[in-house]
């Protein structure tokens, strides 16, 4: 009852012009525990605690990830509130990642957010992780010029778990017009890096090695998938067999060629990503193009995108590096727009693991 009254008061306040909207965002979909505070669309804090425990296994171990989230969530939220310089009572709503992601990890953030909302008697907002990656483009920062994309725009969302082309009609109206039918681009980077003996996550290592390698040295299989969809599992298998065959002839093949292997692999992934993006831009006649997700940190992808944008007269939007990786600021900004639209969740909400937008 008390919660209902507080909720009703909040709804009335929402209509007031001078309401300050302060959102606590919680992200726990994979192996980063993150909390952020966004006030009226502007970032006040964004704390991310990574999990080194997975490095020894060459990939994220779901059971270990959820345990680490349990340990990290309270200190991370505490730090986010302190760094924002606000008190807990000033938070208008708590937004959390509902999915997609690892279920055990999502449960930690979801349960925490529910408990926080209930105890503070504030609304709860569920956020789709993928929409969060897209809306990271709308995070405003003090003292930084703000030039967000104009609707409608296309967003190439490339992360460890997803590769999609999204038609973004509005903050809360998005349509997936192309997506991977198997592995994601980040997965291709990470899995190929693993067979080369590089640490997890391999994407940034491939990026670094590729800088001094020859991208034309080796040729790898490019998928033939109809429409705007992607596929990366064939490339991974092709890369694995290519290494296996060459290692038979020369046991030092990887060591002697790691820069060229990285550059050639990276070029193949970028070519695949860009060919479908160009097609999507042509079909939709949209020239506002954005990129989001962890793989958008890739320097080769950024450069190629810029060259392609100049050639095709696209206006290109790339989020700041810290907002491309998993973080709670992107969840809080999505929560902010959902708050404005009065889209609240109830205490019965449960996480989902599979991709949906």
Does 99 help bind ligand KG4 (rule: CB under 6 A)? no
What's the min distance (Å) between Cβ of 100 and ligand KG4? 9
Tell me whether residue 190 or residue 260 sits nearer to ligand KG4 (CB atom).
Answer: 190
Sheet holding 22-27, edge to edge: 42-49, 33-39, 22-27, 93-99, 124-128
Based on the shown chain and the rule CB under 6 A, indicate whether residue 159 belongs to the binding site for ligand KG4: yes
Q: Residue 166 interacts with ligand KG4 (CB under 6 A)? A: no
State the minimum distance, in angstroms, from the CB of residue 96 to ligand KG4.
15
Nearest to 300 by CA among 213, 184, 217, 237: 213
Residue found under tokens 């502007």 = 42
DSSP secondary structure, 262-288, as one string? HHHHHHHHHHHHHHHHHHHHHHHT--E
Q: Provide the minimum distance between the beta carbon of 196 and ligand KG4 in the complex, in angstroms, as a whole number.
A: 13
Asked if 213 interacts with ligand KG4 (CB under 6 A), we say no
Name the 3-class secondary structure at 34: strand
Cis peptide upstream of residue 152 (ω within 30 degrees of 0): yes
Nearer to ligand KG4, 122 or 185 (CB): 185
Binding segment toward ligand KG4, per CB under 6 A, in 60-68, 157-165, 218-226, 315-323: 157-165
Give the whole-angstrom CA distance, residue 69 versus residue 51.
9
φ, ψ of residue 13 to 5 degrees: the values are -60, -35
Residues 169-188 that bind ligand KG4 (CB under 6 A): 186
Range 312-341, binding ligand KG4 (CB under 6 A): 325-326
Query: Residue with CB nearest ligand KG4?
Result: 294
123 vs 203 by CB, closer to ligand KG4? 203
Site for ligand KG4 in 16-45 (CB under 6 A): 30
* Binding residues for ligand KG4 restricted to 265-294, rule: CB under 6 A: 293-294
Q: Which of 207, 229, 260, 288 binds ligand KG4 (CB under 6 A)?
A: 207
Angle at which helices 103-120 and 62-84 cross, to 10°: 30
Task: Decide if residue 190 touches ligand KG4 (CB under 6 A).
Answer: yes
Cα–Cα distance measured from residue 241 to residue 181, given in angstroms and rounded to the nearest whole number:
21
Least Cβ distance, residue 170 to ligand KG4 (angstroms):
23
Distance CA 185, CA 190 (A): 9
Return the closest-CA partner of residue 35 out of 1, 86, 102. Answer: 86
Q: Would you tell me which residues interact with ligand KG4 (CB under 6 A)?
A: 30, 159-161, 186, 189-190, 201-204, 207, 293-295, 297-298, 325-326
């Amino acid at each position: 009852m008390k919660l209902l009254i507080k909720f009703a008061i909040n709804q009335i306040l929402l209509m007031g012009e001078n309401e300050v909207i302060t959102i606590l965002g919680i992200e726990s979909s994979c192996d980063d525990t993150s909390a952020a505070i966004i006030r009226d669309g502007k970032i006040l804090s964004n704390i991310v605690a990574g999990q080194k425990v997975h490095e020894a296994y060459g990939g994220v171990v779901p059971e270990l990830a959820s345990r680490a989230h349990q340990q990290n969530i309270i200190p991370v939220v505490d730090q986010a509130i302190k760094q924002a310089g606000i008190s807990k009572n000033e938070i208008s709503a708590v937004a959390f990642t509902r999915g997609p992601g690892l279920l055990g990890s999502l449960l930690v953030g979801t349960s925490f957010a529910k408990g926080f909302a209930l105890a503070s008697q504030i609304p709860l907002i569920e956020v789709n992780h993928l929409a969060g990656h897209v809306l990271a483009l709308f995070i405003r920062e003090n003292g930084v010029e703000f030039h967000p994309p104009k609707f409608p725009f296309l967003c190439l969302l490339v992360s460890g778990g997803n590769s999609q082309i999204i038609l973004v009609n509005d903050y809360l109206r998005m349509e997936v017009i192309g997506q991977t039918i198997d592995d994601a681009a980040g997965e291709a980077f990470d899995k190929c890096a693993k067979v080369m003996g590089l640490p997890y996550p391999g994407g940034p290592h491939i990026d670094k090695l590729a800088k001094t390698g020859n991208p034309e040295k080796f040729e790898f299989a490019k998928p033939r998938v109809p429409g705007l969809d992607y596929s990366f599992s064939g490339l991974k298998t092709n890369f694995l067999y290519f290494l296996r065959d060459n290692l038979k002839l020369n046991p030092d093949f990887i060591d002697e060629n790691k820069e060229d292997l990285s550059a050639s692999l990276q070029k193949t992934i970028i070519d695949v990503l860009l060919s479908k993006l160009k097609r999507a831009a042509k079909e939709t006649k949209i020239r506002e193009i954005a990129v989001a997700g962890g793989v958008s940190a890739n320097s080769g992808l950024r450069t190629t995108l810029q060259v392609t944008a100049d050639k095709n007269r696209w206006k290109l939007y790339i989020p700041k590096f810290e907002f491309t990786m998993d973080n709670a600021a992107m969840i809080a900004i999505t929560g902010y727009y959902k708050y404005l639209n009065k889209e609240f969740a109830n205490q019965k909400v449960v996480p989902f693991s599979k991709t949906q937008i």
